[in-house]
């Protein structure tokens, strides 16, 4: 989508015909730009694609490696196979 097409979505209408003062007065806020971008992404990608895209930029927190060791320990391959075998009915 072109910048000109995107500006038509903005309530302040950035297409001002070239007047510098008019362009300054109609300059979109960061929030307006974000809203236009989110609307465009949602329209183009659909709900699932939009969510997947936004999740790429999630900051997250904590230390994954330390938390993984706390939750799972440090099992050997044999331990993993034993756990899988115990949870699967092989009969």
Question: What is the tens place of the pLDDT at every residue in 2-43?
Answer: 656 655 555 454 445 556 676 667 788 899 999 999 999 999
Q: What is the pLDDT of residue 72?
A: 86
| CA pair distance 7, 28, nearest whole angstrom | 9
- What lies within 8 Å, CB to CB, of 4 at 6+ separation is 15
- What lies within 8 Å, CB to CB, of 59 at 6+ separation is none
Count CB neighbours of 36 within 10 A: 19
- What lies within 8 Å, CB to CB, of 49 at 6+ separation is 41
pTM above 0.75, yes or no: no
pLDDT band at 62 (very low <50, low <70, confident <90, very high): confident
Count CB neighbours of 5 within 10 A: 10
């Amino acid at each position: 989508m072109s910048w000109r097409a995107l500006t038509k979505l903005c309530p302040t209408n950035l297409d001002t015909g070239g007047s510098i003062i008019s362009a300054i007065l109609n300059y979109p806020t960061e929030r307006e730009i974000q809203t236009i971008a989110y609307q465009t992404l949602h329209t183009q990608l659909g709900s699932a694609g939009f969510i997947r895209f936004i999740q790429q930029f999630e900051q997250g927190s904590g230390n994954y490696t330390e938390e993984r060791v706390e939750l799972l320990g440090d099992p050997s391959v044999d331990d993993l196979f034993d756990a899988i075998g115990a949870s699967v009915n092989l009969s």
